[in-house]
Amino acid sequence: MSLKELIRRRALEEAGFDFAGFASAQDFKEYVKPWAKTIVALGLEAWDEVFDVAIFRAKRDRFDVYYIYEEVMAEKALKLCIYLRDMGFRAEHEPYGLPLKRVAVKAGAGCYGKNSMIINPLYGSRLRLTCVVTDADVEPDPPFEGDLCGECDACVRACPLHAIKEPYRIDARRCVNSLAPPPRDVDTDVLEMAPKLLKRPTENSMILCSICQKVCPYNKRAKNF
């Protein structure tokens, strides 16, 4: 088995990711350290909306915010890093420094959907993304080609706030998820709709609006739905 398939198998079967693909670090060299050769793009299916819960704590002038899926994925990415280091490679989990959606397309995970999420043919937009950067030199996977949305515009029509003003681009002032801590400025009617669209399991937690994901036909096909 090639090194690439060995790493992929570890990522899927032992770390527990649902997607693992490979992109060249050369294509993102302004974001990675000079030793990096390969970016392993990793995806985990958020099969329950509780994956997207944000737990927050207001500090004097800021918020500490924890997203459950980020915590789960960090633990899985660390497993893959340890595997690569045991083989003699450098490996670091890189959850924030890379443009994750662009890397995901390059690594074959899917394409941009009109709701601005990455749409994977199997998991729809419920593939949460992260990356491991390594100096292991493996052949990149082919980038994802094509447009899975086609003529569909279900997400554009379903958004109660008309936040998808044009396909593939969300207007942050109109999207209720902009109110997740730390909150950004939104239009007045967005504030009024927030109690209906943002679930609040506890005083310090929030499940984001996902109407534009729930209507996506690719999410209906995903397993466990």
For ligand SF4, give the closer residue by CB, 41 or 197: 197
Q: What are phi and psi of 18, to 5 degrees?
A: -100, -15
Q: Which of 154, 173, 187, 205 is close enough to bind ligand SF4 by CB under 6 A?
A: 154
Residue 41: CB partners within 8 Å, gap ≥ 6?
19, 20, 21, 22, 23, 100, 103, 104, 106, 107, 109, 129, 131
Compute CA distances 168 → 20, 80, 100, 171, 210, whole Å. 24, 32, 16, 10, 15
- Residue 149 contacts ligand SF4 per CB under 6 A: yes
- The least CB distance from residue 172 to ligand SF4, in Å, is 9
Q: Which of 161, 179, 206, 222 is close enough to bind ligand SF4 by CB under 6 A?
A: 161
Best CA proximity match to 136, nearest among 42, 38, 41, 40: 38
Phi-psi region of 39 (alpha: psi -120 to 50; beta: other; left: phi over 0): beta
Say if residues 190 and 63 touch (Cβ distance below 8 Å). no
Listed ranges 52-60, 70-78, 130-138, 206-214: which one lies at the site for ligand SF4 (CB under 6 A): 206-214
- The least CB distance from residue 198 to ligand SF4, in Å, is 9
- The least CB distance from residue 121 to ligand SF4, in Å, is 11
- Residue 216 contacts ligand SF4 per CB under 6 A: yes
Of residues 49 through 108, those in contact with ligand SF4 by CB under 6 A are: none
Say if residues 207 and 198 touch (Cβ distance below 8 Å). yes
- Residue 185 contacts ligand SF4 per CB under 6 A: no
Q: Which residues pair with 118 in a beta bridge?
A: 112
For ligand SF4, give the closer residue by CB, 79 or 173: 173
**x-or-dash string of contact with ligand SF4, 24-53, rule CB under 6 A:** ------------------------------
The H-assigned helical ranges of the chain are 3-9, 68-86, 100-106, 154-158, 188-197, 211-214, 217-221
Coil/strand/helix, residue 75: helix
- The least CB distance from residue 203 to ligand SF4, in Å, is 22
Rounded CA-CA distance 157/147 in Å is 18
- Residue 212 contacts ligand SF4 per CB under 6 A: yes
For ligand SF4, give the closer residue by CB, 52 or 94: 52
Residue ranges that bind ligand SF4, judged by CB under 6 A:
113-115, 119, 148-149, 152-155, 159, 161, 163-164, 170, 175-177, 197, 209, 211-212, 215-218
